[in-house]
């Protein structure tokens, strides 16, 4: 897909903008990852990562970026015995995960609306 897209962008002054817009529009339908507490889910098939084809998967980035990543770092540290266990019940962790999902979805929606606005202006001007 990427190869065929690269061949259609052209080489004029708007080719980079077309590439960014189209790549974004093609990746939009992909399912967004969700945070959840494994302790509240009974179906372990929900823990898998479809694209990587692994049965158990967790993802986190630097803990300076998102609260969910801080929680994962703390849980991982406690599970390795490096720090004491966090004092949250699994239901509380799940509520935090749901809140993080809500904020992430709201942020994504604002980003999409902004991109739609930019694209509309771009098309109108051109």
3-state secondary structure of 49: strand
The ranges assigned to domains in the chain are 1-30, 35-125
| C-beta of residue 47 within 8 angstroms of C-beta of residue 54 | no
* Residue 52: predicted pLDDT: 81
10 Å CB burial of residue 111 (0-12, 13-18, 19+) is: exposed
Window from 6-10, 17-21, 82-86, 104-108 with minimum mean pLDDT? 6-10
Say if pTM beats, i.e. exceeds, 0.75: no
Q: Which residues partner with 54 through β-bridges? A: 49
* Encoded tokens for 93: 């962790």
Give residue-wise pLDDT tens across range 59-91.
Answer: 777 777 788 888 888 888 998 999 998 888 999
Is 90 exceeded by the pLDDT of residue 99?
A: yes
Give residue-wise pLDDT tens across range 23-59.
Answer: 777 766 666 778 888 888 888 887 887 778 888 887 7
Scored b (16 or more CB within 10 A) or e, 65-83 reads: ebebbebbebbeeeeeeee
* Backbone CA torsion sign across 37, 65, 60, 80: negative
């Amino acid at each position: 897909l990427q190869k065929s897209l690269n061949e259609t962008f052209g080489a004029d002054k708007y080719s980079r903008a077309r590439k960014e817009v189209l790549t974004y529009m093609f990746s939009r339908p992909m399912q967004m990852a969700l945070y959840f507490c494994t302790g509240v889910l009974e179906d372990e098939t929900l823990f898998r990562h479809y694209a990587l084809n692994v049965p158990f998967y967790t993802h986190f980035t630097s803990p300076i970026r998102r609260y969910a990543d801080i929680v994962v770092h703390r849980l991982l540290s406690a599970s390795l015995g490096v720090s004491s266990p966090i004092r949250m019940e699994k239901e509380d962790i799940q509520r935090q995960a749901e809140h993080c999902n809500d904020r992430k979805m709201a942020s994504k929606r604002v980003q999409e609306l902004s991109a739609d606005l930019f694209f509309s202006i771009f098309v109108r001007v051109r």
